[in-house]
Amino acid sequence: MSRFNVFLIAQFPHSSTLRKRVNLSDTLIFTTGEHAVKAANIRRDSRICLCVDDEAPPYAYIMVEGTATLSSDLNALLHWATRIAERYMGEDLAETYGKRNGVPGELLVRVTPTRVIFEKDIAI
C-alpha cells in the first residue's frame, strides 16, 4: 500500500491509503472518486507526494514527488482498474473488481515523478 500526501487549502496535510500500479513508462497510476478529497486536491494543485514503506525489518521506503493528471476515459479506467485489482486481489478476482471500480464517477490518476528518494536497510 502507499500513502498519498498533499496540503489542503487550509494548509494542513491530507494523507490517505491507495492502491497503485507502475506502467512501462514509469508513471504511477491509481484511481479515485471524482468527488474524493484526492481528486479535489489534484484539481487545485497537481503536485503530489506518494510514500511506500516496508514495515518489516530491516525496513525500507520510497518517496515519489511528482505531478498528477486526472482522466475520466472509461476504457483506460477499466484497463487500469483491472490491472490494479490483479495486483491486490489476484488474477481470479481482477476482472470482477476492475468492472466494479472502472465505472463513471471514478477517475484515473497518472503521476509523473519529478523526484524520487529511496532508502533500504534502515535498521542496519
Determine if the pTM surpasses 0.85: no
At 38-87, the pLDDT tens digits run: 899 899 889 888 888 888 899 888 888 889 999 999 999 999 999 999 98
Give the pLDDT confidence score for residue 21 in this predicted structure. 57
8 contacts 38 by C-beta, under 8 angstroms: no
Separation between Cα atoms, residue 90 and residue 97, nearest integer Å: 10
Q: How many domains does the chain divide into?
A: 1
Structural domain including 21 reads 2-119
> Is residue 10's pLDDT more than 60?
no
Does a structural domain hold residue 124?
Answer: no
Q: 87 or 35, which is more confident? A: 35
Give the pLDDT confidence score for residue 87 in this predicted structure. 86
Sequence-separated (6 or more) residues with CB below 8 Å from residue 1: 17, 18, 19, 52
- The CATH code of the domain that includes 9 is 2.30.110.10
